[in-house]
A and B are shown apart, each in its own frame.
Chain A
């Protein structure tokens, strides 16, 4: 069955906006979605895969390279047949082994044919796409270490079992989880560009609407999809237009000053906060069809770009979202 359409997800606007922003500009970095169970986190990620515009890849390339020159030489690809594929959205299950993530010696071929060959892992498959980790806060530490390294460098380097392999691994990290079950390591937190908090809708009408649409999706599939896929197509066109407009968005000195002063007021660690905020605001402006970043865009992007970057008092219950909102009101009146 085709996944539930992205536009048909009721509410959860911040989560949807964050995902759209990363689709417009993958350099923003990943999205972290924290919240209760059954709030549509996984649904949104799977819907995103269907929403994204397809990419051109060299046929047979294990890491979805765009041109023959980009293909790693160990893949042994000589023909540049370009095929169109949906943007990859790769699931990373908990308890996944290191070999499956980074790739490893192809044991089957080694044992049966005596050949030394590399079997690409999840990181290769996620190149130029999305890597989705459900329950990211329960991920084992040694896998997190691997991810940190690759997410930072954009390249996966495998040095083991007599293999020396490297390939590009640029992906948007999407993580979801439930904060009640454990904290996320601060280092990994920092690698996510945006972070959103989702909660179940509080209004009864919204909840009824969720049920109505789900019911239609399951029992009146054809008509439902016909309607919402048209909406998705509109959104896709908007994303493509925003991608094209991204480079032309003007960044005034005032906007830069605004970004810096918000981050300064919040005392966010490092400079990644400012950079992400600017990139997110730029994507926001492009999505809205504006030709310059305004204070409105910065105000809308700030909570998701900065929420998880504040120097964190591990014992502060109030949540950092409230702190960001307070400072925003003061610094950007």
Chain B
């Protein structure tokens, strides 16, 4: 597909032809005129809107409070899922895992339901929940599209209806299945849903063309729309190939296609893989994967989790609130609130039954709790030459022991490492200790000591975690001999100033921290740094990681 806009219109058409098999569309785009244009085309689906904070009541249906209290008999309203049809989830990147799983279950159970997820992810760590990525068939990324490339588009509903009628006549051959399975394996896609969705897309495209046999172009298009973004491995490019080109596809690729190839049997698998590779530039691929891992690691702590919870924790006094499924009604408080008004209300409602308590929506009191937030332990590890030579192995041992503790107390862990010129978030906050262990084992040592850079990444990670409702704690393991400044220059003085500045920032943010001196001799600079950070400083006891772990537990007060 040479023209990116044509790819968009075809994707929407296929979704309209066979929504039951394709299940939906993951549309990655920032708000803007291009997305607005796509949005206009979606009107043909008569979609209904969801937002990430939708309540279960609105989703599954529930008690219609106003009508119930008004009439004194029970009234229910139907939920969005019950009506089927196409749903549009706006701000899908904010969709909490609980909602994602519910939508996924609904998609599995109801074939009349489709979902278009509008993903506005702007940075790493954001993105559509994996449960939905997995189930929605098609993927489009509009970010690379310019307004000039687009044109007004409306779905041709008559032709679509004809194509839908032809759908059942399209035959899927054994060869087509073999090819799709082969490409999925080559792209490192484990899930069996992906090849099934690919075949559905190819079938819809064949029906759209008015054909009854799958051809090369159907499969190539389906691979680009369905499989490409799921790839976890990019198969080796042919030796003389330049790095995978972004769309549009270079002409030499097209030239490789024998012009008379019109039967699905004849397309080499390589071509399908090329179609997948062309659909996504390499950078985007890496970014998508990173986003997905970070998202997965985030687990149950949903975006913007509140410290005042409606569900769990220590009870706080009840407050006025709405009767919905997010909170628990405090019945006693509600009745107490309503009691003084009964006489007055009865006068205005002569039709009320004897003994009926007359409640108004404003009487409802909802319980509130103070929830215990999840803790995330951010290990900031100095893997520089000076440190590596001395005690990196010991530091790793100590971290492993702390990880075991973290496992017991259900803490999240994150790993920031710094060496050479820069610092990385090696592991985003996760409860998966297997990942933490793997990252730690593979941590190389050597190079300069960009201490300030490490602190900067740690601070960002901590603030990000706090934004997600977790309580961050830093554990810095270093010998404190920072020699690389924030701008990457090897200037010991600037490096020291930068480190102190960041340490002060960390203290200002009130992030609890602990500094573990891994140096051979005590370092006065490190002591002053700890002071600026408001951190406790302890020395790494020689070759006794277990003692360190005990010290840490004591220092963190658990």
Binding site for B on A (CB under 8 A): 1, 36-40, 42, 46, 91, 93-95, 97-99, 104-105, 107-108, 110-114, 134-135, 137-142, 161-162, 178-183, 185, 199-201, 204, 207-208, 210-212, 214-215, 218-219, 314-315, 317
B325 / chain A contacts, CB cutoff of 8 Å: 97
> Is the C-beta of B249 less than 8 angstroms from some C-beta in chain A?
no
Contact check, A114 vs B96: say whether CB atoms are below 8 A apart. Answer: no
In the complex where A107-B323, A135-B101, A315-B437 touch, is A141 in contact with B410 (Cβ < 8 A)? yes
Contact check, A207 vs B331: say whether CB atoms are below 8 A apart. Answer: no
Q: List 4 extra interface pairs beyond A39-B191, A315-B433, CB under 8 A.
A: A107-B63, A114-B356, A134-B101, A180-B296
Closest B residue to A107 by beta carbon equals B329
Report the separation of the CA atoms of residues A248 and B445 in the bound assembly, to the nearest whole angstrom. 63
Report the separation of the CA atoms of residues A210 and B185 in the bound assembly, to the nearest whole angstrom. 14
Contact check, A38 vs B177: say whether CB atoms are below 8 A apart. Answer: no
In the complex where A94-B102, A183-B432 touch, is A108 in contact with B63 (Cβ < 8 A)? yes
From A1, A37, A114, A141, B130 is in contact (CB under 8 Å) with A37
Report the separation of the CA atoms of residues A38 and B300 in the bound assembly, to the nearest whole angstrom. 20
Contact check, B192 vs A207: say whether CB atoms are below 8 A apart. Answer: yes
A139 / chain B contacts, CB cutoff of 8 Å: 300
From A97, A108, A185, B74 is in contact (CB under 8 Å) with A108
Contact check, A142 vs B311: say whether CB atoms are below 8 A apart. Answer: yes
Contact check, B432 vs A38: say whether CB atoms are below 8 A apart. Answer: no
> Is the C-beta of B121 less than 8 angstroms from some C-beta in chain A?
no
Report the separation of the CA atoms of residues A134 and B400 in the bound assembly, to the nearest whole angstrom. 30
Report the separation of the CA atoms of residues A36 and B131 in the bound assembly, to the nearest whole angstrom. 11
In the complex where A37-B134, A134-B105 touch, is A212 in contact with B311 (Cβ < 8 A)? no
Please encode chain B, from 70 to 103, with 1 for each CB lying within 8 Å of some chain A CB and 0 for all others.
0011100000000000000000000011110110
In the complex where A314-B403, A315-B404 touch, is A93 in contact with B98 (Cβ < 8 A)? yes
Closest 4 CB pairs of A and B: A38-B191, A95-B98, A200-B190, A38-B193
Scoring B177, B323, B359 by chain A CB atoms within 10 A of each residue's CB, the highest score goes to B177
B367: shortest Cβ distance to chain A, in Å? Answer: 10
Contact check, A38 vs B357: say whether CB atoms are below 8 A apart. Answer: no
A207 / chain B contacts, CB cutoff of 8 Å: 181, 184-185, 192, 195
B474 / chain A contacts, CB cutoff of 8 Å: none
Report the separation of the CA atoms of residues A216 and B101 in the bound assembly, to the nearest whole angstrom. 27
> Is the C-beta of B551 less than 8 angstroms from some C-beta in chain A?
no
Contact check, A182 vs B192: say whether CB atoms are below 8 A apart. Answer: no
B418: shortest Cβ distance to chain A, in Å? Answer: 23
A219 / chain B contacts, CB cutoff of 8 Å: 168
> Is the C-beta of B312 less than 8 angstroms from some C-beta in chain A?
yes
Contact check, B430 vs A182: say whether CB atoms are below 8 A apart. Answer: yes
> Is the C-beta of B380 less than 8 angstroms from some C-beta in chain A?
no
> Is the C-beta of B428 less than 8 angstroms from some C-beta in chain A?
no
A37 / chain B contacts, CB cutoff of 8 Å: 130-131, 134, 190-191, 193
Contact check, A211 vs B430: say whether CB atoms are below 8 A apart. Answer: no
Contact check, A211 vs B102: say whether CB atoms are below 8 A apart. Answer: no
> Is the C-beta of B142 less than 8 angstroms from some C-beta in chain A?
no
Contact check, A112 vs B432: say whether CB atoms are below 8 A apart. Answer: no
B148 / chain A contacts, CB cutoff of 8 Å: none
B177 / chain A contacts, CB cutoff of 8 Å: 208, 211-212, 215
A104 / chain B contacts, CB cutoff of 8 Å: 328
Closest A residue to B180 by beta carbon equals A211
B146: shortest Cβ distance to chain A, in Å? Answer: 34
Contact check, B195 vs A211: say whether CB atoms are below 8 A apart. Answer: yes
Contact check, A1 vs B199: say whether CB atoms are below 8 A apart. Answer: no
Which residues 1-50 of B sit at the A interface, judged by CB distance below 8 A? Answer: 21
Scoring A40, A91, A111, A139 by chain B CB atoms within 10 A of each residue's CB, the highest score goes to A111
Contact check, B311 vs A112: say whether CB atoms are below 8 A apart. Answer: no
Report the separation of the CA atoms of residues A93 and B168 in the bound assembly, to the nearest whole angstrom. 34
Report the separation of the CA atoms of residues A315 and B185 in the bound assembly, to the nearest whole angstrom. 29
Report the separation of the CA atoms of residues A219 and B178 in the bound assembly, to the nearest whole angstrom. 19
A46 / chain B contacts, CB cutoff of 8 Å: 108
